[in-house]
Amino acid sequence: MSPQVRRVAMLSAHTSPLAQPGNGDAGGMNVYVLELARRLAACSVAVEIFTRATSSEQPPVVEALPGVLVRHVPAGPFEGLGKQDLPAQMCAFVRDVLRAEATRPVGWFDAIHSHYWLSGQVGQVARDRWGVPLIHSMHTMAKVKNASLAAGDSAEPAGRVAGEQELVEVADRLIANTADEATQMVELYGADPARVEVVHPGVDLERFRPQERAAARAALGLPQDQDVILFAGRIQPLKAPDVVLEAAARLMASGRRERTTVAIVGGPSGSGLDRPTALLDLAAGLGIADRARFVPPVAQDELALWYAAASIVCVPSYNESFGLVAIEAQACGTPVVAANVGGLATAVCDGVTGVLVDGHDPADYAAAFATLLDRPERYASMSAAAIRHASRFGWDVTAERTLSVYADAVAEMQALPTAIGQ
């Protein structure tokens, strides 16, 4: 029988699960951490999430949800630190994580789940101090990103590559979002396949669900008689929002200008912070500024309205470990046109729930848009199939599978002293 997992320390050092997704470093990982914690708590697992404090006004501890505490750990200046500056602050972060556990009875936490490589560095120290297993989720990997950089994007530093390599060797379990990501861990980092587990991220099927398109457009002030092409996510070269604008411009040039709107929902992030007006300038240069809407990051309920209002959601990223936007959009019944990379090949069923495009040529994306928009029967079939496909990715399934990974890792560690003594 697997041991009971009662309490989990979850580490999300560089970005808070309480931050608004779509801006700065906040994105799909924030949603992942909070939703997983929510569902684990529903399974009677107490979760404490440790994240770096970014404001002096943040309380030290917040009960984010019943059974879920978020601890804001002081580590370096509250503001003005980029992700590239954070490794130097991890010693302070480790200190306060260990202090929090030191006030509790011995054996308080049963497992540690770290998210992203910076958190994994903290998790390694806590693992050895507490004598509990470390489960790590990469979310993205430096070697994968560096192999497919977008124009204008910056390569991940050697320090991150080394840190990820160390994690692969030390972590008791590695959770991959897809089978493709699991293969990358094994082939690029030499991970032991026996310690890699595939657990698909989930989608909130109560929030992201089919809604009446006309009502959604009315609520957002969108025209009822137009084709709406939507990009939702962080504005940075990796996510390729420029491809969406250029593809929309090509679509409009084919005689569809007056019946096409392109919407970009999100805020600057990563290297996109260096040119915060780049997309506005591009839209003006393409002559489609009057057909484009730029909207700052929105709350999840409003994001669901955008998905429902859109004719097509486009996800042309250069790399995605999964592609939560693609699943959320499909759960709302909206077909997706996405790059055939990484986890998007799992998130989108090519030709069934959407279209996967090889490469990042805007002409190919424009052609994919037109193919869907010009064939109403195929579009309707894809919309229905998208809802069915997304229904397989509920967060409850993700939590159940993750909890099983925790239990296996705990059982293995508990058996280790006995095995050594034989």
Annotated binding-site positions for UDP-N-acetyl-alpha-D-glucosamine: 20-21, 28, 234, 239, 298, 320, 328
Q: CA angle 242-357-273, nearest 5°?
A: 25
Task: Classify 76 in phi/psi space as left (phi over 0), alpha (psi -120 to 50) or beta.
Answer: left
DSSP 8-state code for residue 23: B
Annotated binding-site positions for Mg(2+): 307, 310, 334
Q: CA angle 96-99-103, nearest 5°?
A: 145
Quote the CA–CA distance of 287 and 276 in Å, as a whole number. Answer: 19
Annotated binding-site positions: 14, 20-21, 25-30, 83, 116, 140, 160, 234, 239, 298, 307, 310, 320, 328, 334
Residue pair 354/331 in contact (Cβ under 8 Å)? The answer is no
Q: Which residues partner with 292 through β-bridges?
A: 262
Annotated binding-site positions for 1D-myo-inositol 3-phosphate: 14, 25-30, 83, 116, 140, 160
CA distances from 20 to 7, 38, 271, 296 (A): 26, 17, 19, 10
What is the strand order of the sheet 354-357 is part of? 292-295, 260-265, 227-232, 312-315, 336-339, 354-357
